[in-house]
Amino acid sequence: MQGRTHTCGELRIGDVGKKVKIAGWYDNLRRVSKNLGFLILRDFYGVTQVVVETEEMMEIVDGINYESTIAVTGEVRERSNKTNTIATGEIEVVPESIEILGKCRYNELPFQIAHSKESDENIRLKYRYLDLRNPAVKDRIVLRSQIVSELRASMNAHGFMEITTPILTCSSPEGARDYLVPSRNHPGKFYALPQAPQQFKQLLMASGFDRYFQIAPCFRDEDARADRSPGEFYQLDMEMAFADQEDVFAVLEDVLPPVFAKYGIYKTASAAPFKRISYLDAMETYGTDKPDLRIDLVVTDATACMADCGFGPFAGQTVKAVVVSGFEGTRKVIDKLCADAEVQSGNKAYWFRVDKDGSFVGGISKFLQERREAVKEALGLKPGDFVGVTAGKKSAAQKTAGVLRRILGEASPQHMNKECYEFCWIVDFPMYEIGEESGELEFCHNPFSMPQGGMKALEEQEPLEILAYQYDLVCNGVELSSGAVRNHDPEIMVKAFQMVGLGEDDVKAKFPAMYNAFCYGAPPHAGIAPGVDRMVMLIAGEESIREIIPFPMNKNAQDVMMGAPATVEQKQLDDVHIRIVEPEKKE
């Protein structure tokens, strides 16, 4: 009998009496006596119980280490102790022969396969090939494959053409550090791995392609976060010719909700049209441009009624408040809540309660007693309300209030409908801002975006008042993507860059292909690129993005399994004209 006749997840009660050959990993053995034991064989598809009933066969099994790959040939029999916890729970296989296909040469494993998720992350990543044998880990990669297939099919159904773009390209200012690749044939010059296919997809629109998409690999030298993998990530990159913001919204509002509802841990997702919130309104109402709309709490401005109450940190500052009804947290819980908000925002949070008789108690209440009625009216307070308060420069007060809103929402089940996916569009981003470090006018979001009002807005409006056709897609408080209507007019592009001190020569030098292509007549076009990794993380309900990536790097951007980054031989450096200069040691 050549090969396997069935997988370990395939046999059923109807197969009783058949002679079969199954193969997989020796998962474990429950020994009953010297001539009776129950061996579990595991493969990609599931598990099958193999009943060892002779001393001779038990001696063979005793000579095999767990996680060896073996083939079992035998007869299918009905199980006496049936179980519905596994798909093959009504049958078992009685072996005639057991063959070792791939011997595990170690008596001890780095971790138990079924409990690998409980191990140290670096150990898991070092032995990722073992970690992936854990069905719970493997299933996340299977889910990722299913989601990508579904996205690809949906984009094809919407008339988009999948086109791959170059991996070796030129360095481009995308907002993060590039990964550079030295050129062997051109000493002193470098390729860069693309932070995104931004320019290429716009050039495709200028080339006459109408609807492009790609499950695009992107490379950015960024620090890791729970929702961001260092080094590389993938996005559902798309662009549409002769299109505006509404066309992009219509496509994603049709593509994404069915995928989230079908595969997600929550089975409902926002239906089209998604809620649209201007950037300024999002900051005022939710304290963030990534609001979690499952939480019904809002941020209220309390500057007029609290800034001059006599409490030092409020004096001359913007004051924001988050009112929560029915919050019964103890003083210990409240202190931790405020401490968490400070850690996450870098700014202090304060609080007080409205007692049953309408008086203010706890926290900063003593500073508000004389203006109690004005505060009640401004914030719409009623007995039993808990009020979280933040203060500082406007942006800092907003940010801290946004963190406080989320923490309070998560701590108040009555204010958070957790079992769903809530999408929204953040729109009308400012075109420009004053840079925190430079103190100069800078692009706020994306330099290739079309300003609302076009050339007239650039010529007549105050720079900080100009809005752009830029938008973010947010789901459950996670930013999935940024997108924009592109600036396809060379004259408007040059003017937009002149506003930040870059002339026409700079534009031509930095973006020669795109500038020249647009000079030959480009269509209006728009696009977006939701992150595949973040989407799968949300759909799977995982806290760490590394759980849904087959071979992720660790938090320090190291591949501990392959040993990357690593040193290379001197000849390799010589070939690409590179000399290593060791950093000076600090004394």
pLDDT of 13 strictly over 70:
yes
Q: pLDDT-based confidence at 524, cuts 50/70/90? A: very high
Mean pLDDT of the chain: 94
pLDDT at 173: 63
pLDDT of 569 strictly over 70:
yes
Q: Is 208 exposed, middle or buried (0-12, 13-18, 19+ CB in 10 A)?
A: exposed
List, in order, residues 6 or more apart from 234 with CB less than 8 Å away.
Answer: 215, 216, 217, 218, 531, 532, 533
**Rounded Cα gap, residues 428 and 351, in angstroms:** 33
* Average of per-residue pLDDT across 25-46: 94
Residue 268 lies in a domain: no
More confident residue, 274 or 176: 274
pLDDT at 224: 79
154 is written with which tokens? 């949906």
pLDDT of 1 strictly over 60:
no
End of a domain among 102, 136, 157? 102
Q: State pLDDT tens for residues 243-253.
A: 999 999 999 99
Contact 8, 25 (CB under 8 A): no
Residue 199 lies in a domain: no
pLDDT of 539 strictly over 60:
yes
Q: pLDDT-based confidence at 3, cuts 50/70/90? A: confident
Q: State pLDDT tens for residues 351-366.
A: 999 999 999 999 999 9
Residue 69 lies in a domain: yes
Q: 70: domain CATH number?
A: 2.40.50.140
* Average of per-residue pLDDT across 66-93: 95
Q: pLDDT-based confidence at 438, cuts 50/70/90? A: confident
End of a domain among 83, 102, 121? 102
End of a domain among 102, 130, 156? 102
Beta bridge partners of 70: 24, 100
Which segment of 149-163, 300-314, 429-443, 464-478 scores lowest on mean pLDDT? 429-443
pLDDT of 509 strictly over 90:
no
**Rounded Cα gap, residues 268 and 134, in angstroms:** 29
Q: pLDDT-based confidence at 435, cuts 50/70/90? A: confident
Residue 304 lies in a domain: yes
Provide the number of structural domains found in the chain: 2
Contact 396, 283 (CB under 8 A): no
DSSP at 295: B
3-state secondary structure 360-383: EECCCHHHCHHHHHHHHHHHCCCC
pLDDT at 587: 62
pLDDT at 583: 83
Residue 392 lies in a domain: yes
Contact 357, 383 (CB under 8 A): yes
* Average of per-residue pLDDT across 228-236: 90
Max Cα-Cα span within the chain: 92
Q: State pLDDT tens for residues 278-321.
A: 999 999 999 999 999 999 999 999 999 999 999 999 999 999 99
pLDDT of 225 strictly over 80:
no
**Rounded Cα gap, residues 20 and 543, in angstroms:** 42
Q: 343: domain CATH number?
A: 3.30.1360.30
pLDDT at 83: 93
Residue 53 lies in a domain: yes
Three-state DSSP at 88 gives coil
Contact 454, 467 (CB under 8 A): no
pLDDT of 174 strictly over 80:
no
pLDDT at 427: 97
pLDDT of 586 strictly over 90:
no
Strands, E assignment, 275-317: 275-278, 299-301
pLDDT at 231: 86
Domain with 348, as residue range(s), is 295-416
pLDDT at 582: 84
* Average of per-residue pLDDT across 485-502: 94
Residue 302 lies in a domain: yes
pLDDT at 228: 81
The length of the chain is 587
* Average of per-residue pLDDT across 429-454: 89
Exposure b/e, 43-53, CB count within 10 A at least 16 = b? beebbbbbbbe
Helix (H) or strand (E) holding 540: helix 532-540
pLDDT of 2 strictly over 90:
no
Q: What percent of the chain stands above pLDDT 70?
A: 99
Q: pLDDT-based confidence at 175, cuts 50/70/90? A: low
Q: Which residue has the tokens 């102790």?
A: 81
Residue 246 lies in a domain: no
